[in-house]
Homo-oligomer: A and B are copies of this chain.
Amino acid sequence: PHVGVLTLSCPQRPGIVHAVSRFLAELGADITEHQQFDDRVENTLFMRTAFTAQDADAETLTRRFEDTAREFGMTYTFSDATRPRVLIMVSKFGHCLHDLIFRWQTGSLPADLVAVVSNHEDLRPMAEAAGLPFVHIPVDAASKPAAEQRLLDVVEQFEADLVVLARYMQVLSDDLCNRLSGRAINIHHSFLPGFKGARPYHQAHARGVKHVGATAHYVTADLDEGPIIEQEVVRVDHRMTPEELATVGRDTEALALARAVRWHAENRVMLSGHRTVVFH
């Protein structure tokens, strides 16, 4: 039997669960996981149903579900169990890349890393030691448009489903953000909305906060304002310099990013306006 996942959202009204479960029952599918969230603020229902069936071909199911979807005004997606292909972008800090590589190699990341892109050469050895192609795309103000086109070519070449900015320290153009919309995840090294922008650990030190954190979010044109997928925090105190905050903060970055990538890869993240519904 094959594994499939249906995610959908639609205006709340009676009969939705029944319609979905009837559809799956008629397929002979066996529901293995089912989660739903009735957003009473937005009057919208979000649902994720994982199932096994003799035939779980996403394209076929998508077509067969059309009538039901139309009846309820559903936005929906069928996914099969294919692991998404992930391209990772880095600059000089390797902790998130290192962490993702280990989870991938030991089978705890339900996705496949396919390449690493960087504007620096520093992490080439780490990528290549893991058997990952490393593509160096230097960027400066003048070369940015060409560099971004080059990135899109690489994304296409490696058939990447997801781009992960694992401490990639360049701001993407609005145009690139839009093209990657919904399939690019960034890790920001602060507990957003605090300390947007540059040098957040220095900002955190200056403000004297008692926890630092990290935020994994979808990339949007509005820098550090994308929908938040996951956040992790850790307690700190007055004795820690900005550098020491960064050292302990890195552990939260790696954890938050790894969770966000896993949840995205398993189709557990849905967008609700500017917020996320995460069925973990």
Contact = CB atoms under 8 A, between A and B. Distances in A.
Contacts of A102: 94-95, 98
Contacts of A210: 228, 230-231
A79 B36 CA distance: 21
B17 A21 contact: yes
A28 to B, nearest CB: 7
Contacts of A140: none
A247 to B, nearest CB: 5
Interface in A251-276: 251, 255, 272, 274-276
Given A251-B255, A274-B206, A33 B29 contact: no
Identical chains bound together, number: 4
A275 B106 contact: no
Interface residues on chain A, size class: 35 or more
Contacts of A275: 206-208, 238
A181 interface: no
Given A34-B34, A247-B108, A208 B227 contact: yes
Given A194-B191, A210-B228, A17 B37 contact: no
Contacts of A25: 14-15, 18
Nearest to A16: B31
B272 A238 contact: yes
A107 to B, nearest CB: 9
Interface string A178-221: 00000000000001111100000000011111110100000000
A233 interface: yes
A192 B193 contact: no
Contacts of A75: none
A32 interface: yes
Contacts of A276: 208, 238
Interface of A: 13-18, 21-22, 24-25, 28-41, 94-95, 98, 102, 106, 108, 129, 191-195, 205-211, 213, 227-228, 230-231, 233, 235, 237-239, 241, 247, 251, 255, 272, 274-278
